[in-house]
Structure 1
Amino acid sequence: MAANGGEDILKRTYSLYEPKLLEGAYIPQIAAYYYKQWDGFEMKFHRHNRVEVMYVISGTCRVDTESQSIRMKKGDFILIDADVTHKLHVDKGSPCRMLNVEFHFAEEDSAAPSMKGMAEGNQAVARLLALKVPYVLLRENGDIYPTLKNLIHEMDAKTSDNQLMISLLLSQLIIRIATLAVEVTANEAYESNEYVSTLIRYIHQNYDRDIQVKDMAGSVNLHPGYVHRIFKACTGRTITEFLTSYRIEKAQMLLTHTDIPVVEIPDYVGINSSQYFSTLFKKITGRTPQEFRSPR
């Protein structure tokens, strides 16, 4: 069922991460909501200028974006930002019942909580608005579905004096989702850090061999593409940059504290070309390997 709201309100909608939300009195407003059970359904890819919450009441489904496929089951829900291309898929014979809520933002003078006010008064909302991700997949914690049902009940009541209650319930929903989202991303960051620590140990123990990203990804049972992303996010460097830097660091140690011939140093640090080693060494240190050793 569609909520009240004119075309000019729709023209003033923003992404959840639109900076203007933190500059003015932008009030979240329900644009549409509905219950629906699907069985053997394939939605076309689409996008809209509203933030969407898709909650799985029963069964299983899959939500696809242009780059990801997200499996969902009972109690899972996903927050999808405005203008993110997505579609829903439900297998035949495995019905999925969902509750969908879509909301946008309108700048107006109102007693209802604004996004700016919520961000200033709740750290989780502020952090949610800074995530800048196309979607967040979350799991019911006992608060989300009751809030959704209360919100829909007020929307269906169609009374003239319950608009503030609707705004308060929508604000409550956003705060509860933000709290869960922050917890999930914090846990993911912790897990990523654990994986990155393992990857760094792998590099420390194997830098002298011809290792590749797929070897490192295999050591933590992750896809190489995902390993690239979490390593760069946690260290600020790609795996290749980190490995190269560590190899040159070890080469400097060998040049300074051993009598190993310069021509053999590349083999000790896992680089199979003397010319390439010299090029990397000078690029990082500003000196050739011979120049680096000459002060000894």
Structure 2
Amino acid sequence: MNGSLFEPRLRDGDYIPRFFAYYYKQWHDYTMPYHDHHSTEIMYMISGLCRVDVQTGGKMEESITLRKGEFIMLDAGVSHRLVVEGDQPCRMLNVEFGFTEGVGIGPSIRQMAAEEQEVTALMSRPFPYLVLSDPEEVYYALKSLVLELDQRKEHPGAMVELLFMQLLVRIARLREEVGRSDTQQMDVYIKRCIEFLHLNYDRDILVKDMAAAVNLHPGYLHRIFKKHTGQTLTAYLTMLRMDKARMLLQQTDIPIHEIADYVGVGSRQYFHMLFKKHTGKTPVEYRSAVERHVWNYAEDEEG
């Protein structure tokens, strides 16, 4: 079978790792041609700076800059190339591996996945490549694995299998930790954005204004806001404005023609259209239909 970690057979049968290449290499001012492997590849950045270009869908190209302590794991069959520019060299540790059917001394991939839910999650969510910043736990496992492979070239043995399983668990756990951290950070951005909208709905605000308020790129904020709330930024702002308009129509005597300004909709005609779409009634119909709850400030003070 090929070397993809996402091959379904890995979770059904008993497979152990098989290593095709493992080496340290220092690169200087070099551009590698595009190529792919039948194996999964890990490129770990020990020092310096480099770029990895990856072709994902068709000829779509994505560029990833790797710095010290970062690594990329490329799925089998993914076309990529390494680019090192300038005088500063980069030093990497590369490992290419696949899988072969058989029962080793240690646990199989299937058995490890059954014990470690993070490994199951990693194998169940395919990706063309994965980039992570390592707190050195992955590097120590990777370095130990390569040292053992160098010393036991002909008969890798149980230690190689155990070190590979440790490496797999380290990567899987790190990915889950990063995912949780990213989600928590996104939650902070969404909360700040919503607070900004509630404080500024009466103004003429654009997506770029919302993004500037939370220090994010407008396109990125738009994507994470939609993912977390199920609404676009403009849809949420419109909903907020219409909810405020309903409250003002029900609880105040503010003239209807002025309420558009109170909720930040510059055109009164556009406000009427939005309000009817949101509530099913025109502002006049809504004010006539609801029970009025207008505050009597004089009575409030006397009480």
**TM-score bracket relative to the smaller structure:** 0.7 to 0.9
Alpha-carbon distance, 1:94 to partner: 0.6
Q: Match of 1:3?
A: none
Q: Match of 1:6?
A: none
CA distance 1:164–1:60, shift in 2 (3 Å): same
CA distance 1:129–1:292, shift in 2 (3 Å): farther
Task: Note if contact 2:104-2:158 (Cα within 8 Å) is conserved in structure 1.
Answer: no
Decide which of 204, 213, 217 is 1:210's aligned counterpart: 204
- Return the alpha-carbon distance in structure 2 between the equivalents of residues 19 and 267 of structure 1: 59
- Return the alpha-carbon distance in structure 2 between the equivalents of residues 70 and 107 of structure 1: 33
CA distance 1:17–1:214, shift in 2 (3 Å): farther
CA distance 1:108–1:72, shift in 2 (3 Å): same
Residue 50 of structure 2 corresponds to residue 56 of structure 1: no
Please tell me the root mean square deviation across aligned C-alpha atoms, in Å: 2.7
Q: Match of 2:113?
A: 119
Count of aligned pairs between the two proteins: 285
Alpha-carbon distance, 1:27 to partner: 4.1
Identity over aligned pairs, percent: 49
Residue 235 of structure 2 corresponds to residue 241 of structure 1: yes
Task: Note if contact 2:18-2:97 (Cα within 8 Å) is conserved in structure 1.
Answer: yes
Decide which of 151, 167, 180 is 1:173's aligned counterpart: 167
Task: Note if contact 1:29-1:167 (Cα within 8 Å) is conserved in structure 2.
Answer: no
Residue 83 of structure 2 corresponds to residue 89 of structure 1: yes
- Return the alpha-carbon distance in structure 2 between the equivalents of residues 193 and 74 of structure 1: 28
Decide which of 129, 132, 137 is 2:131's aligned counterpart: 137
Q: Structure 1: any 5+ residue segments left out of the alignment? A: 1-8
Q: Match of 2:29?
A: 40
Task: Note if contact 1:196-1:231 (Cα within 8 Å) is conserved in structure 2.
Answer: yes
Q: Match of 2:144?
A: 150
Question: What one-letter code is carried by the residue in structure 2 that aligns with 1:229?
Answer: R
Normalising by structure 1, we get a TM-score of 0.83
Q: Match of 2:266?
A: 272
CA distance 1:277–1:25, shift in 2 (3 Å): farther
Task: Note if contact 1:61-1:88 (Cα within 8 Å) is conserved in structure 2.
Answer: yes
CA distance 1:292–1:225, shift in 2 (3 Å): same
Normalising by structure 2, we get a TM-score of 0.81
Task: Note if contact 1:46-1:86 (Cα within 8 Å) is conserved in structure 2.
Answer: yes
CA distance 1:269–1:68, shift in 2 (3 Å): farther
Runs of 4+ in 1 over 6 A off after TM superposition: none
Q: CA offsets per residue over residues 234-284 of structure 1, 9 Å max, x none? A: 223222222222122212212221222333322222222333333333333
Matches within 5 A, 1:66-105: 66=60, 68-105=62-99
Alpha-carbon distance, 1:131 to partner: 5.1
